[in-house]
Amino acid sequence: MARASGRGLSHLWTSLTSRSLTIDVRQPTVVEHIQRLQRLETVTYTMDKIVTGAKENPIFPDFLAGDRLLMLVHGEVVAGIDFTSLKPGDVRLAGKLVHLHLPGPQVFSTRLDSGKTRVYSRQTGFLVQSDPNLETQVRQEAERQLLEAAMAEGILHTAQQNGMATLTSLLQGLGFERVEFE
């Protein structure tokens, strides 16, 4: 009998001192939780490319007046969703259902990794000095090509899908059972 009353007291004590979890799921609060994500980076494409650049002279052959550069570049393109533009009208609540109009995905950055990018070869003609701007121009072209390749591989679609999956997890963690995207 002593054991039963001990359990009873323990249960009573737990009932009196326990705290219940309450999550505020009103529309302004849900919008605020999503906006806190700010810029959600949802995908990073990492690529290696070979990029060439050349300065040629219309009169003299390359071995006399040309300047050629072959560069091995390593870079990344980062994309995701910027939630700072989310408006209260973009989120509608209906009980345990959330209707959400997401901002469109966007590319946040394209950059070369200088530590992994190397000039593989450089050939300068006998009559000219190497052009100090050629490497910069080749790097800029490499960034453009990296972005173009990421776009062709569907980086924005992947960013959108990953963003929706992340938001679904967040909203289900707040107690919603269904999340629908528009």
Per-residue pLDDT tens over the stretch 57-115: 677 766 675 667 778 889 999 999 998 888 878 888 888 888 888 889 999 999 988 88
E strand or H helix that includes residue 162: helix 155-173
Is 126 contained in some domain?
no
- Residue 87: inside a domain: yes
Q: Which of 69, 55, 75 is nearest to 142 (CA)?
A: 75
pTM listed for this prediction: 0.70
Domain limits at 154?
24-53+74-119+140-181
Within-domain flag for 64:
no
| Angstrom distance (rounded) from CA 73 to CA 46 | 11
Residue-level pLDDT at 117: 77
E runs forming strands in 56-96? 67-82, 91-94
Q: Taking the alpha carbons of 53, 45, 161, 28 in that order, is the dihedral positive or negative?
A: negative
User: Is residue 10 assigned to a domain?
Assistant: no
**What tokens does 180 get?**
């629908």
- The first and second tokens of residue 171, run together, are 């909203």
Number of domain units in the chain = 1
Domain assignment present for residue 58? The answer is no
In terms of DSSP bridges, do strands 67-82 and 178-181 run parallel, antiparallel, or are they unpaired?
A: unpaired
Structure tokens at 42: 């949802």
pLDDT single digits (tens) 115-130: 887 877 666 656 667 6
Task: Write out pLDDT tens, residues 20-72.
Answer: 444 444 555 656 666 666 788 889 999 888 887 666 667 776 667 566 777 88
Which of the four pLDDT bands, split at 50, 70 and 90, describes residue 2? very low
Is residue 9 included in any domain, yes or no? no
**65 part of a folded domain:** no
Average pLDDT, integer, range 152-175: 90
Please name the residue ranges forming H helices in 18-125: 27-35, 62-65
- Answer with the residue of higher pLDDT: 134 or 12: 134
